[in-house]
Amino acid sequence: MKRLVGLDWGTSSLRAALFDGQGQVVQERELPRGILTVATGEFPVVFHEACGDWLRPDTMALLGGMVGSRQGWLEAPYCPCPAGFADIAARLQWLEPGRIAIVPGLNCETQGVPDVMRGEETQVFGALQLLGLEHGLFVLPGTHSKWVRVAAGRIESFRTFMTGEFYALLRWHSILARTLPAADGELDATAFLRGVEHALATGNLLHSAFSARTLSLLDRLAADAMPSYLSGLVIGEELRLQQLAALREPLVVIGSPGLAQRYELALRALDVPVRSAGSQATWRGLWAIAQTLGDIA
């Protein structure tokens, strides 16, 4: 029987967790050593910096996230959908056999066009366990939001939406930036929901985004409310394409509280039932994958 160390090693940050024999996290750390800060060849050093003191002969380490990308420690080829715990476990990319492995991301193909994720699959698996679910629709909001369909405990398909990135582009680099305040400030729920509503009514972000310009030009929305309105426009555009009316169980939102709150606000306004899972989903997912290997306790 082995004990588990989990790493959530993304583009801009690195989190590490030490598990006890029941899958509870007993220690957790965060380092500002996302893969973009790590030079080729330096990954083993940073790995030991993050969790070297936790490693014993009986320890297994599972690393999820962008660490398995071409810019990471070692490229872990994507696992095709549908994929469950067992598929992922069978395709772990071992750095040291039986000791250190990278969790592969998933790919999925729709009408000849691929989509990919790295890290979110682990969060979804964790949420399935935390909430006791076997199927449903999951959203992981972020720079690149993922919408994930699960059936019989396996990820069937998913789609990426560049929502957070579009927000940042429009917020900081577009003509809209000229009339926006220097900081985003608190969320203005009314302006946010007005943005969601306009996005849904318009059906096209190329057009709806211009309303942030005209409402400002014609003094119809205060500058302080504009970041919230713009956030509503992009999140509304993301929600527009989901078949939310056809949902038979609550949509699961997995993410940090601030961003999840915005999605929940918009979804409640659309009468969509919502459940939440937080940052523990990643650790629970790594634990679940490790469990399928059979010798973790």
Smallest gap, in angstroms, from Cβ of residue 66 to a second copy? Answer: 12
Residue among 237 and 296 whose Cβ is closer to a second copy: 237
Q: Establish if 263 lies at the interface with a second copy (CB under 8 A).
A: no
Q: Establish if 238 lies at the interface with a second copy (CB under 8 A).
A: yes
Q: Establish if 137 lies at the interface with a second copy (CB under 8 A).
A: no
**Residue 104 main-chain phi, psi, to 5 deg:** -70, 155
Question: Which parts of 58-97 interact with a second copy (CB under 8 A)?
Answer: 70
Q: Establish if 56 lies at the interface with a second copy (CB under 8 A).
A: no
Smallest gap, in angstroms, from Cβ of residue 161 to a second copy? Answer: 4
Q: Which residues are CB-neighbours of 8 under 8 A, at least 6 positions away? A: 14, 15, 16, 17, 64, 65, 119, 122, 282, 283, 286
User: Hunting for tokens 């939406």 — which residue is that?
Assistant: 161
Residue among 205 and 286 whose Cβ is closer to a second copy: 205
The single residue among 24, 27, 190, 204 that binds a second copy, judged by CB under 8 A, is 204
Q: Which of 164, 149, 62, 44 is nearest to 106 (CA)?
A: 149
Smallest gap, in angstroms, from Cβ of residue 93 to a second copy? Answer: 17
Q: What are the C-alpha distances in Å from 201 to residues 61, 162, 236, 269? A: 48, 20, 10, 14
| CA 233 – CA 200 distance, rounded (Å) | 8
Residue among 19 and 192 whose Cβ is closer to a second copy: 192
| CA 83 – CA 153 distance, rounded (Å) | 9
Smallest gap, in angstroms, from Cβ of residue 51 to a second copy? Answer: 29
Q: Which of 120, 135, 132 is nearest to 79 (CA)?
A: 120
Q: Establish if 200 lies at the interface with a second copy (CB under 8 A).
A: no
The single residue among 182, 183, 220, 258 that binds a second copy, judged by CB under 8 A, is 220
Q: Establish if 201 lies at the interface with a second copy (CB under 8 A).
A: yes
Query: Is the peptide bond preceding residue 257 cis, with omega within 30 degrees of 0?
Result: no
Q: Establish if 13 lies at the interface with a second copy (CB under 8 A).
A: no
